[in-house]
Structure 1
Amino acid sequence: MASPAVLDRVTAVKISSVTLPLPGGISDAKVLTGRQRPMTEVAVLFAEITTAAGFEGLGISYSKRAGGPGQFAHAEEIAPLLLGEDPSDIARLWDKLMWAGASVGRSGLAVQAIAAFDVALWDLKAKRAGLPLAKLLGAHRDSVRCYNTSGGFLHSPIEEVLERATESLSSGIGGIKIKVGHPDHAVDLARVTAVREKIGDRVPLMVDANQQWDRPTAQRMCRAFEPLNLTWIEEPLDAYDFAGHAALARTFDTPIATGEMLASVAEHTELIRAGVDIVQPDAPRVGGITRFLDIMNHAAREQLQLAPHFVMEVHLHLAAAYPLEPWVEHFEWFDPLFNERLDIRDGRMHLSGRPGLGVTLSDQARAWTVAEHEVRA
């Protein structure tokens, strides 16, 4: 006989792999330095969890370039472990799924597959409560500052970057981030200076080097950028060079941001211990909302700024629950996947009154599905 505290059970789990096409070949510094090819698509992993009481939760994970089929394969293996479980026991279920595949690690692809289920369970829990996820977590605000990244990639001529920046600000975006890390450092300085002159001194402007500088180059570039009043310089060094990032944070007035490429709570703990100004965790990359909350709470205790990476449909809710005023990153790339649009105005992304994440899959997402698997009790 079930405990009276068990209010519901998981009766079905469906996973879908969706290939999201991108407009043209997207290039940052990793492409210009020969480390990667231009990005033409994103592999998105969706999990849909249904319960006996009729609730449904939607979860999201993703992979850029390689890795999507691997995430889907691991998710397919562990999905049956959720059947019959109480969906409210999210932390316990995260551990159950993690230990099922512990031999392949507690970070990276393995936990990124778990992330889709974890996000779906949180979405479901908030829907049962009839609350937006941020309100279930305990929101500190109903809107979050947002900046646009998708218009500032290095493959775009500076004229296009300036035009996109103007359009973004006119549409209600609050800040602009552009990519740097060009092999010719003078090109970086010219592009950032041009954007600063175009948008003015009062608009927040960030730059992202995508890990492409060594320590001496990062020192020189951070010094060159100091007069431009940047909101932050992102990933100037390799993602795992915690000491190097900390040294830059101590040396320069411009804040140093990093963390998006880290794939576990343990790695973020090392980063925070080393010392950095702004942490940028990515919920799908660290294993979902459950693990993101661990990182978020640690960062809050250290009074660090928070600027989650990508997937604004999830990170809006998490950022709204952060004690210090955070940022969220705006990309329009995911828009075709959902029926709903996020409310962006006055430089901020606003929570809706819809329960859970507040998004549902579109017909286009179904049309772009390349693999799916469903298990039922």
Structure 2
Amino acid sequence: MTAQTTTVEAPELASQRIGAATTDRISRVRISLAYLPLAAPISDAKVFAGRQKPLTEIAFLFAEIATEGGYEGIGFGYSKRAGGPGMYAHANEIADKLIGEDPNDIARLWNKLVWAGASMGRSGLTTQTIAAFDIALWDLKAKRAQLPLAKLLGAHRDSVQVYNTSGGYLSMELGQVLDNIDESRGNGIGGIKIKVGQPDTRADLKRVARVRGHLGDGFPFMVDANQQWSRTTAARMGRVLEQFDLTWIEEPLDCYDAAGHAALAASLDTPIATGEMLTSVAEHWNLISAHASDIVQPDAPRVGGITPFLRIAALADHHGLSLAPHFAMEIHLHLAAAYPQEPWLEHFEWLEPMFNERLEVRDGRMFVPNRPGLGFSLSEQALAWTTETRSFTG
């Protein structure tokens, strides 16, 4: 499919109150919508419960920001199953608000963008759209400093322990899951997560027992119910799962059930992890303040970008919680490296065709690249999968 390209000139800034500290301005913003097809349909517990259809593709909103001084940054937001065209439409509405602005004023620009669409709310689609711009601005800032983003933020480590999720979906036969585990471990992955939440909990327990036996004692092992258990089922399953020495149980309940998650976290030795589906700092604060999890799992493209992610990370660290960002390892590697406590990073190889660069994994850890910024650039394949694009200039 050939992408449709249009260029729009932004109106002149209403205010030119920019002082001498401003040495550069945004001159061009380019947005694009692309669809990444998956090799095979993917199903988790939400599909088995009839709530969603199998996942076959991922929509990406890319934002590329250039400045008068010759710097460029790239960021992205994403959506699964629905929302991609909506994100692109909202990006069209707000992209011109960045023209002429100082790209270093990231927090102020985040506020400007969120209030431009505040009648639609300050979470959900609006923040997921803003994420692409915010991430691009952080990428640009780190490139200007000639530093990897982790180093710009202040890294606590140059590598992060990494676990794999993509090989453990419910749509995969158990034999395939075990083969995927062997491949992941052979490639240097340091932890394995599988999906649970089938209608028959006995099938889940059989699957977990087989995987633990295959991994052996002590190897980091997580399970993810994708919000599909009731409070009663989660409590019962949590008690039975204690025997498998799990690193955590993920999303046992609806993501907004702070009281239910708090009760589980208080009653089980196995840590509770949740937060990937939340789309704002406020939603994460509700869980953190309720002591609803032991491990927070913010997703920078979902919460609105790196700016709100850093606020969530500060709240989590203040409460002594562990961090395991969801998906988008290309972004979260840098953010996890800058978290004070030892975090986990989720490995998904799905996004690799979109980028020219690859991330290094060995000895159970993923290493921060020495490339400036986030360290990735769009591949020719990503451009081929692009369906729409639009540029805004001053």
TM (norm. structure 2) is: 0.95
- The DSSP-based 3-state class of the residue aligned with 1:5 is coil
Q: How far apart, CA to CA, are the structure 2 residues paired with 1:355 and 1:175?
A: 28
- The DSSP-based 3-state class of the residue aligned with 1:34 is coil
Which residue in the other structure is 2:58 paired with? 42
Which residue in the other structure is 1:32 paired with? 48
Q: How far apart, CA to CA, are the structure 2 residues paired with 1:60 and 1:135?
A: 21
Q: Deviations over 1:184-207 (max 9, x none)?
A: 111100111111111111210000
Q: How far apart, CA to CA, are the structure 2 residues paired with 1:247 and 1:146?
A: 28
Q: Which amino acid aligns with 2:92?
A: E
Please tell me whether residue 55 in structure 1 is matched to residue 71 in structure 2.
Answer: yes
- The DSSP-based 3-state class of the residue aligned with 1:360 is coil
Please tell me whether residue 158 in structure 1 is matched to residue 198 in structure 2.
Answer: no
Which residue in the other structure is 1:273 paired with? 289
Please tell me whether residue 189 in structure 1 is matched to residue 205 in structure 2.
Answer: yes
2:363 counterpart (325, 336, 346): 346
In the TM superposition, residue 4 of structure 1 has moved relative to its aligned partner by 2.1
- The DSSP-based 3-state class of the residue aligned with 2:315 is helix
Which residue in the other structure is 2:333 paired with? 316
- The DSSP-based 3-state class of the residue aligned with 2:76 is strand
Which residue in the other structure is 1:22 paired with? 38
Which residue in the other structure is 2:24 paired with? 8
Q: Which amino acid aligns with 1:364?
A: Q
Q: How far apart, CA to CA, are the structure 1 residues paired with 2:225 and 2:373?
A: 34
1:93 counterpart (90, 93, 109): 109
CA RMSD of aligned residues (A): 0.7
Q: Deviations over 1:160-217 (max 9, x none)?
A: 0000011001100010000000111111001111111111112100000000000000
Which residue in the other structure is 2:83 paired with? 67
Please tell me whether residue 286 in structure 1 is matched to residue 274 in structure 2.
Answer: no
In the TM superposition, residue 292 of structure 1 has moved relative to its aligned partner by 0.4
- The DSSP-based 3-state class of the residue aligned with 1:107 is coil
1:247 counterpart (250, 263, 266): 263
Please tell me whether residue 361 in structure 1 is matched to residue 378 in structure 2.
Answer: yes
Q: How far apart, CA to CA, are the structure 2 residues paired with 1:174 and 1:374?
A: 42
Q: How far apart, CA to CA, are the structure 2 residues paired with 1:236 and 1:151?
A: 20
Equivalent residue runs for 1:171-182 within 5 Å:
171-182=187-198
In the TM superposition, residue 45 of structure 1 has moved relative to its aligned partner by 0.8
User: What percentage of residue pairs aligned between the two structures are identical?
Assistant: 66
Equivalent residue runs for 1:122-161 within 5 Å:
122-161=138-177
In the TM superposition, residue 224 of structure 1 has moved relative to its aligned partner by 1.0
1:233 counterpart (228, 244, 249): 249
Which residue in the other structure is 1:113 paired with? 129
- The gaps in structure 2 that reach 5 residues or longer are 1-15
Please tell me whether residue 327 in structure 1 is matched to residue 319 in structure 2.
Answer: no
Q: How far apart, CA to CA, are the structure 2 residues paired with 1:138 and 1:24?
A: 39
Q: Deviations over 1:221-253 (max 9, x none)?
A: 111110000000000000000110011011010
In the TM superposition, residue 3 of structure 1 has moved relative to its aligned partner by 2.3
Which residue in the other structure is 1:307 paired with? 324
Q: Deviations over 1:39-94 (max 9, x none)?
A: 00000111000000111000011000000000000011100000000000000000
- The DSSP-based 3-state class of the residue aligned with 1:146 is strand
The one of the two structures with greater contact order (alpha-carbon pairs below 8 A, sep at least 6) is 2
Q: Deviations over 1:119-159 (max 9, x none)?
A: 00000000000000000000000000110000000000000
Q: Which amino acid aligns with 1:343?
A: E
Q: How far apart, CA to CA, are the structure 2 residues paired with 1:241 and 1:202?
A: 31
Which residue in the other structure is 2:354 paired with? 337
- The DSSP-based 3-state class of the residue aligned with 1:58 is strand
Which residue in the other structure is 1:370 paired with? 387
- The gaps in structure 1 that reach 5 residues or longer are none
- The DSSP-based 3-state class of the residue aligned with 1:7 is coil
1:82 counterpart (98, 108, 112): 98
Q: How far apart, CA to CA, are the structure 2 residues paired with 1:168 and 1:197?
A: 16
Q: How far apart, CA to CA, are the structure 1 residues paired with 2:360 and 2:41?
A: 28
Q: Which amino acid aligns with 2:210?
A: A
Please tell me whether residue 199 in structure 1 is matched to residue 199 in structure 2.
Answer: no
Q: How far apart, CA to CA, are the structure 1 residues paired with 2:19 and 2:126?
A: 32
TM (norm. structure 1) is: 0.99
- The DSSP-based 3-state class of the residue aligned with 1:375 is strand
- The DSSP-based 3-state class of the residue aligned with 2:33 is strand
In the TM superposition, residue 330 of structure 1 has moved relative to its aligned partner by 0.3
Which residue in the other structure is 1:213 paired with? 229
